Structure 1
């Protein structure tokens, strides 16, 4: 019998889609991380770019398509494909867990993987030899509900399933392209990401779930919630025995690229 080690939980900031075709500090980190992680039996991803207000989508196709859900980028980016298989059996198992929690999931055979899924996974697992299932987040319901989504599937880690939250530790695209940059904007990002780090180290879940009201410059760093909630879902899947910020970088003054490992 094969021994299956309980998998860690990972949060990554996926940044610009150009990370798929351009080398950066973060792309090199993700490539290195993939070589260091134990090969999971499957990967389940909460991505900022599958945000659903009215239902819970779980990808259940055998071969979900690679979705290029962005515009205005070079042609070579749209030619990138990530051919990992889906896992319909695991998708049904996840759906049953949501049903037992009195939630109503939808299994989707035709939902593909957005760039929050395939860009980091392509860097970490370039052989595309690990099946993938994606679960939607819900920014309308806020942090506590998305934390619950993570809790619901936390025991999949005992099966060797790697749970990944893919978003951005900061995400203010309007400021990124602001022709008159906000004064001290990098300091505002650093104060926010420092607060998140401190609360994670302190295992202060209550404050993290209330980050919109407690964190410094929360609205500046996240004008909308969708890129922060994958961290919250990952947090719900973890047991918080070990938390480490395994990567830290800032691109273009305001795009923080922090990554966290929970094990």
Structure 2
């Protein structure tokens, strides 16, 4: 039985840094041993939900610049799974969700930096799924609902991203989070814990500092 996880990938540096968070990721990987991994990455956006569908080894995508050379030397050599991709397609179509397939896209840093810390051997098949930024929160929830039951098949589902993402407001030398970011994050957590879907579906209007926390 596998859970569904929402994990922050943050900076690509998490692939090489030793922090409380990277040690937490290592512990997650030691705790959960799935037969396959399905990961939604915030760094793959598309107008139609798209599934990586090849059985081949993924290319490691370095979709960042200005970082230490050792980051660009990491190769996360996981393979895909057309079988798992087919299962996903069926689940989505049963919910009336259209999908496309992509046979060539590699793993971007929203995927491989996390997986490198959790499963460094890269010996678990991975299927990457794009995010459609044009959908409402309610429509996004429907996508998640379609995947209900994967955990019972020992398939680990990961959402990779962050709740607060405003690089223009980032103060690189500041070590404590901004009050507005904490208030937004706390609001999301509170309403998730209360399963208040109506509030969450309208987070852009209801959550404090929503446009500052997640500018589009």
The TM-score normalised by the length of structure 2 is: 0.92
Point out where structure 1 has 5 or more consecutive residues left out of the alignment: 1-5, 225-263
Q: What residue number does 1:236 align with?
A: none
Structure 1 residue 125 and structure 2 residue 124: aligned? no
Secondary structure in 2 aligned to 1:154? coil
Instruction: Give the aligned CA root-mean-square deviation in angstroms.
Output: 1.8
2:194 to 202, 207, 215: 202
Partner of 1:8: 3
Matched, 1:22 2:17: yes
Unaligned runs of 5+ in 2: none
1:124-203 to 2 correspondences below 5 Å: 124-177=118-171, 186-203=178-195
Contact 1:44 1:135 in 2 (8 A): yes
CA contact (8 A) 2:97 2:143 kept: no
Q: Which residue of 207, 211, 215 corresponds with 1:219?
A: 211
Structure-2 separation of matches of 1:110 and 1:185 = 38
Q: What SS does structure 1 have at the residue aligned with 2:14? A: helix
Give the number of equivalent residue pairs: 214
Matched residue, 2:45: 51
Which residue is 2:101 aligned to? 107
Instruction: Tell me how far apart the structure 2 counterparts of residues 33 and 22 of structure 1 sit (CA, whole Å).
Output: 17
Please list the CA deviations of residues 178-234 of structure 1 after superposition, one character each: whole Å capped at 9, or x if unmatched: 89x9xx96111111111111111111122112111111111111113xxxxxxxxxx
Q: How many angstroms apart in 2 are the aligned matches of 1:157 and 1:32?
A: 19
Say if 1:28 and 1:144 are closer, same or farther in 2 by CA, change over 3 A.
same
TM-score (norm 1): 0.77
